[in-house]
Each structure stands twice: as C-alpha cells, then as structure tokens.
Amino acid sequence: MYFQLNQLSMTYPSGKKALKDVTLALKSPNLIGLLGPNGAGKSTLMQLLVAGLLPTGGEILLDGAPLLQSEQLLKSKLGYLPQTFGLYEELTVYQFLDYMAALKQIPDRKQAILSALSDTHLEDKKKVKIRTLSGGQRQRVGIAQALLGNPEFLIFDEPTVGLDPEERISFRNLFSRMAQERLVLLSTHIIEDVQSVCNQLIVIHHGCILFSGTPAELIQRAEGHVGIFEETSSLQETHVSITSRVNTSKGVICRAVADRLPVYVSPAEPTLEDAYLYLILQEDTK
Ligand code: ADP
Ligand code: MG
C-alpha cells in the first residue's frame, strides 16, 4: 500500500493556507513521524489522507488511483484516531468498541474487538465504563477503535498528548509493533515520541514540508550548527538560538544552534531535537 501526494494544497474557506504544494510518498510497511509546531498543518494533512477533507489543489493517489475513487477501499483499510475524539462516557469499553465495529461494518465484531483490546492491553478494562478511565486508558480506547478490523493503514493524530512518561514508552512500543506490517503515520510535536521508533520523519511548518527522510539524515543536516557555551553576564548571546539551558555546578550551560557558530561556542554533536529546532529556526528567520 502506498500514498502519493502531488502538490497537495489546502486553503480553508477563511483564506488560511494550511498546506502548500505538498509532494510526498508514504509507503507500507513503515512508521512515519509527522513532526511540526502547533498550527503547522499536521491535522489538515491527516484529514486529507482519510478523505475527511477535500484538497483545494493537487491530488492524493492510493496505490496509484485517485483517493476519491478508492474511498470505499480506503475506509476498509484505514484506522484513524483524530486529534479530538469524543468517547461515549456511559458505555463500557467493550460496548463502545462494539458500536464502532458496527459502524465500520466489520463482519466478526467479537473477534475484532478482542484482538484490538489485546493489542492495546485493555482486556481487563472491557467491562469498565469509559467515564472512569484515566487519560492514558482513554487514548488506548481511541487507538483500539482505530485497530478494529486490522486495517493496513493507521493514522494517529497526536496520540501521546496527555500521557505520562511511562505510558509514552508503552505507546511507542505499541506503534513500532503495529508498524511491522502496516503503514503507521503519527503526528506529534514531541521529539522523544519519534526519535527511537520512526524510520521516516516528515517535518512540516507553515504548511510546507521542510524535511522528509530518516532521523539520521535530519541529524546530519545540523552537523556543525550545534554547540554549547557557559552563560555569563558579560556575554552578548548574538547570532545563536538557545535550545536549552542547564544548571550545573559550573554555572548555566547553554545549548544553541546557529548557521555559523560564534567563537565562544564549542561545537557539539547534534541530537534529533537540535536538528529539528535548527530546521524550524532556519525557516523562521528566512
Ligand atoms: P496542526 O495540526 O499542525 O496543529 P492544523 O492542520 O490543525 O495544524 O492547522 C493548520 C492551520 O490551519 C492553522 O493555522 C489552523 O489555525 C488553520 N485551520 C485548521 N482548521 C481550520 C478550519 N477549519 N478553518 C480555518 N482554518 C483552519
Ligand atoms: Mg493538530
């Protein structure tokens, strides 16, 4: 299964250009991280991929055919967790999934539900009412409904928002397991969610794709543009963008990115976060 996006654009009726000329290929199996600041266009792109929105320019091909012609096919192959997802508070987890499975016209609902519950480690919650669940458990229910019917293509819009660090790790493991045989696209603005598990990263900002490639390729781009220095009151921190400040016994150590590192900055190995910030900052200062 693959998606080809050709010069895809989306301008909302308000005049807001949320996506501008996006050309991308998404191939299965793969775990792809869609990374970008708030307002970058991540949710818009995902809604276009699930045919929940119609593009105002360009096209999306699914296995070579226009998405709208394949809409029925897409629905049967697709699992989607929107960014805001209402759960029916008074239903139990099982009842809710049964309802969603019925909407998706899944033939063997019981089997599909048990399998989704097992994949999301929710078996012991199936008889529990949704309103009693924690934030992380609710997100699991959202993911479980996306998994119903074992779709080949999974889209999760900011699935780790509101999760504690432990839950995040367990979700990451879940995503990489799911991506072994599928195309999983997940959006986030949290680097830790994508750095250890995604094979491909797509960075989007102001509706444009700034980067598509492996995490290692993104890091390479920032080589020679990252450094550290000790913060002193006399130093004028010019020509650098500080990405973090750490208190140490020796004082405050700053990490910074810059096109050209000033002499007071000692070069450092870029992390994925440095590379991402460098890319975004470069774009912002254009
Ligand atoms: P992200 O998911 O990366 O935060 P979105 O795709 O939600 O970004 O939004 C991209 C841009 O489009 C933002 O500036 C947002 O305010 C705008 N936008 C999103 N939905 C609509 C809409 N229905 N009408 C008008 N503007 C919208
Ligand atoms: Mg969004």
Give the separation between CA 187 and CA 81, rounded to whole angstroms: 11
The alpha carbon of 84 and the centre of ligand 2 are apart by a number of angstroms equal to 9
The alpha carbon of 213 and the centre of ligand 2 are apart by a number of angstroms equal to 21
pLDDT tens digits along 215-236: 999 999 999 999 999 988 666 6
Angle of the 165-178 helix axis to the 135-147 helix axis, nearest 10: 10
Residues 161-172, mean pLDDT to the nearest whole number:
83
Whether the per-residue pLDDT at 27 is higher than 80: the answer is yes
Residues 137-155, mean pLDDT to the nearest whole number:
93
Give the separation between CA 67 and CA 34, rounded to whole angstroms: 20
Percent of the chain, pLDDT > 90?
A: 67
pLDDT tens digits along 57-110: 999 999 999 988 887 777 778 999 999 888 788 999 999 999 999 998 899 999
- Which residues line ligand 1 at a C-beta cut-off of 6 Å? 12, 14, 16, 18, 36, 38-44
**Closest ligand (CA of 84):** 2
Residues 232-241, mean pLDDT to the nearest whole number:
73
The DSSP call for residue 82 is: -
Whether the per-residue pLDDT at 162 is higher than 80: the answer is no
The two structure tokens encoding residue 51: 């045919």
Radius of gyration over every alpha carbon of the chain, rounded to an integer in angstroms: 21
pLDDT tens digits along 173-207: 889 999 999 999 999 988 888 888 899 999 999 99
The residue type found at 267 is: P
Of 16, 45, 49, 155, the one to substitute when testing ligand 1's pocket (max ligand atoms within 8 A of C-beta) is: 16
Angle, CA of 9, 43 and 173, to the nearest 5°:
130
The DSSP call for residue 27 is: E
State residue 237's pLDDT score: 65
Out of 70-74, 84-88, 151-155, 243-247, least confident range: 70-74
**Closest ligand (CA of 158):** 2
Length of the chain: 286
Beta bridge partners of 17: 11
The CA-atom distances, in angstroms, between 98 and each of 27, 88, 93, 149, 257 are 30, 12, 9, 11, 50
